[in-house]
Amino acid sequence: MEKELKGKVAIVTGAGRLRGIGRAAAVALAKLGADVVVTGTGRSPKNYPDDEKAVGWRDIESVADLVRAEGSRALPLVSDVTNEKDVNNMISKTIKELGRIDILINNAAYARAEDRVPILDLDESVFQKVVDIKITGTFLCTKGAVGQMINQGTGGKIVNISSSAGKKGSANFLAYNAANFGIIGMTQSLARELGAHNINVNAVCPGAVDTSRMDVVRDQWETMAANTPIGRNGTDEEVGDFCAYLCTEAASWIHGQSINQNGGTIMEH
């Protein structure tokens, strides 16, 4: 049976980690037949977590290999999503090498660290970095991809990765809340604007997902799971697979939504 996304080209930002939603989404899309552009910041190997070092991980190159293993083409690109020149280069290289753009997964985000502090301890540069990567990055990547989607005239799919922190504010989460609430507003605006072009736009709002971003809170991991109605935290594959589903025809009437995927910790829309 032919894979549903055969002939489609997807861009997944922030996809270089072994344990990450970007990697999982890229592989899930490839399993459905899509060719995938895998982007990352070009992290230094000395900063890789121990599990990546142990397996000889090569950031976006390793994810590209996983995509190719599914029978799809892969294009690994180092790209700073906050830099318009970088993003435009990413878009032009995608079109040159793979011919089109049908799917965009806006997943890039600032690594969880010194942003989770009281406002009086929050450095302006850190606040700006969190917002720039999530908000400006989503704006620039979407602007670039949408122009090509509209020119193609065959519609498209955009999935923005927000968070449970885009639905509910928490103390000491100011920058992260601001960025993720912003993604939900952008999703709604884009959905109203782009629906006429048959471009679906949705956001996914994960809760606690087992990725390398969460290594800094491993001491709280079991408690976080126990506070989840379903009794466990999520996996990157679960979120990646759901992102891929939103890019299929079966999900074509889901539009402008910011969908909770968190084991029930937040049920409000």
Q: Is residue 104 part of a domain?
A: yes
Q: What type of residue sits at position 144?
A: G
Cα–Cα nearest to 212, from 11, 81, 24, 74 = 24
The predicted structure's pLDDT at residue 111 = 85
Q: Is residue 2 part of a domain?
A: no
The predicted structure's pLDDT at residue 1 = 53
Q: Is residue 1 part of a domain?
A: no
Pairing of strands 156-161, 35-40: unpaired
pLDDT band at 255 (very low <50, low <70, confident <90, very high): very high
For the question of residue 176 being annotated catalytic, the response is yes
pLDDT band at 268 (very low <50, low <70, confident <90, very high): confident
Q: What is the pLDDT of residues 82-113, one digit of tens each?
A: 999 999 999 999 999 999 999 999 999 998 87
Q: What is the pLDDT of residues 116-169, one digit of tens each?
A: 999 999 999 999 999 999 999 999 999 999 999 999 999 999 999 999 999 999
Cα gap 194→144, rounded to integer Å: 14
Pairing of strands 74-78, 35-40: parallel
How crowded is residue 56: how many other Cβ atoms within 10 Å of its Cβ?
A: 9
Ramachandran angles phi, psi of 116, nearest 5°: -95, 70
Two tokens, residue 195 = 């629906």
Q: Is residue 267 part of a domain?
A: no
Q: Is residue 247 part of a domain?
A: yes
Domain count, the chain: 1
Model-level pTM? 0.96
Mean per-residue pLDDT of the chain: 96
| Burial class for 120, CB neighbours closer than 10 Å (0-12, 13-18, 19+) | exposed
Q: Pick the catalytic residue from 48, 110, 176, 245.
A: 176
Q: Is residue 49 part of a domain?
A: yes
The per-residue b/e assignment along 171-181, b for 16 or more CB within 10 angstroms, e otherwise, is: eebbbbbbbbb
Q: Could you tell me the CATH number of the domain that includes residue 220?
A: 3.40.50.720
Tell me what the mean pLDDT of segment 178-201 comes to: 98
3-state SS string over the chain? CCCCCCCCEEEECCCCCCCCHHHHHHHHHHHCCCEEEEEECCCCHHHCCHHHHHCCCCCHHHHHHHHHHCCCCEEEEECCCCCHHHHHHHHHHHHHHHCCCCEEEECCCCCCCCCCCCHHHCCHHHHHHHHHHHHHHHHHHHHHHHHHHHHHCCCEEEEEECCHHHCCCCCCCHHHHHHHHHHHHHHHHHHHHHHHHCEEEEEEEECCEECHHHHHHHHHHHHHHHCCCCCCCEEHHHHHHHHHHCCCHHHCCCCCCEEEECCCCCCCC
Q: Is residue 52 part of a domain?
A: yes
Q: Is residue 105 part of a domain?
A: yes
Of the two residues 114 and 25, the one the predictor is more confident about is 25
- Domain region containing 208: 9-261
Quote the Cα angle for 193-195-197, to 5°: 95
